[in-house]
A and B are shown apart, each in its own frame.
Chain A
Amino acid sequence: MGYNSKVEGDVIVTRVDAALNWFRKNSLWPMPMGLACCAIELMAAGASRFDIARFGSEVMRFSPRQSDVMIVAGTVTYKMAMAVKRIYDQMPEPKWVIAMGACASTGGMYRSYAVLQGVDRIIPVDVYVAGCPPRPEALLDALIKLQNKVAREPILAASPNVAA
């Protein structure tokens, strides 16, 4: 088949993978699980100077049902852990997780009886951001890395969260 530019005009032919992933990665709506100090830097990333909305994360929905990526920003205590897991379970597929900061990644400086040593003990994490707290630019870098990961996802891939 030929491409007749006079007739077809602004038409792009591509694969479903590429198109769908392009839509998904450029509109990752975060679910901000802002638990502690990292939440302040998350707010800074959402404010005007570092503007996370440039990357498509226009809406920081506090509703898990309407979000794509959960940004766990802060210390996850054992008391809060089950609530984080429940909110993650309420997010619809496809969903991703960014563990922001040292406490969410590994428990941080709190090697103690009350702190969950890394949120990846209860939910699967896609991108970890180091820092205490990480600069807003580091969070934006993590978002860009997540976008690259989303772009590579094959369509119709079996998701590990879907029950067999």
Chain B
Amino acid sequence: MAALDIAQQLKARFPEIISDPAEFRGEVTVRLSDAERITEVCAAAKKDFGFDYLVDISSVDNYGDDPRFTVVYHLYGYGHHCHLRLKTDVSEEKSELPTVCTVWRTANWHEREIYDMMGIRFRNHPDLRRILMWEGYPYFPLRKDFPLAGKPSEMPDVAFSKPAPLEGGPFVTIAGGKDRIAREPRVRIPETDALDTNARLERRKDVQEAHGHSHGPGPVETK
């Protein structure tokens, strides 16, 4: 059974909150408009549709857009060998989602990592604390407004951090941009970089067309 069929069945099961499945290069994505029901949807996906393996949970910081965070669940089923990507949005004021640890135990550490790096809390998580940085670290490093070099922090007897010398870096490509010069500028100022450049570039029409439909379906249309 193809992944698209299974995704269609999942949509038929939850018609108001799951969008039409989008397919790009063999990968199927569905969007969930009501993030509070994620546990219910995931439990149905595991029990009834055979997605017994949670491959990954990851989060995206859409800095500048209104639901600031998107949390992406990658599901897979050993029985039918099909992948599914499930996306939900979380706004910054809320910054909270129900946990899926009750469905897949592996979600424990993935959700801890999302809490550590992005600041999204998970309700009913058995042990929600930082996993990569140390407890008491005051920032969320993978947010777009946090500089790559880091910010100074001090916790006596536990850890300290200092900003790293970047020397004109970070030497990574900016996404989007119509030519190489826009994508790889000679000088980057890290504080202002991700804040306006990325957000501005991604919203430009020519950049969106260059992306194609790789970003999946938009918000769910309710009837």
Contact = CB atoms under 8 A, between A and B. Distances in A.
Contacts of B9: none
Given A79-B134, A117-B164, A111 B149 contact: yes
Task: Name, among A81, A110, A113, A115, the residue most crowded by chain B CB atoms within 10 Å (CB to CB).
Answer: A113
A19 interface: no
Interface residues of B, number: 24
Contacts of A113: 139, 141, 146-151, 161, 163-164
B132 A114 contact: yes
Task: Name, among B147, B151, B159, the residue most crowded by chain A CB atoms within 10 Å (CB to CB).
Answer: B159
A46 interface: no
B159 A112 contact: no
A110 B165 CA distance: 10
Contact of A114 (B133, B147, B158, B170): B133
Interface of B is mostly: loop
A78 B149 contact: no
Interface in B119-142: 132-134, 139, 141
B157 A82 contact: yes
A115 B159 contact: no
Interface string A74-112: 000011011000000000000000000000000100111
Contacts, number: 47
Interface in A41-84: 78-79, 81-82
Interface of A: 78-79, 81-82, 107, 110-115, 117
Nearest to B159: A78
Interface of A is mostly: loop
Nearest to B164: A111
A113 B146 CA distance: 9
Given A82-B157, A114-B150, A117-B162, 17 more contacts: A78-B159, A79-B132, A79-B133, A79-B159, A81-B160, A82-B158, A82-B159, A107-B164, A111-B164, A111-B166, A112-B149, A112-B164, A113-B139, A113-B148, A113-B150, A114-B133, A114-B161
A120 to B, nearest CB: 13
Given A79-B133, A79-B134, A111 B165 contact: yes
Contacts of B147: 113
Nearest to B130: A79
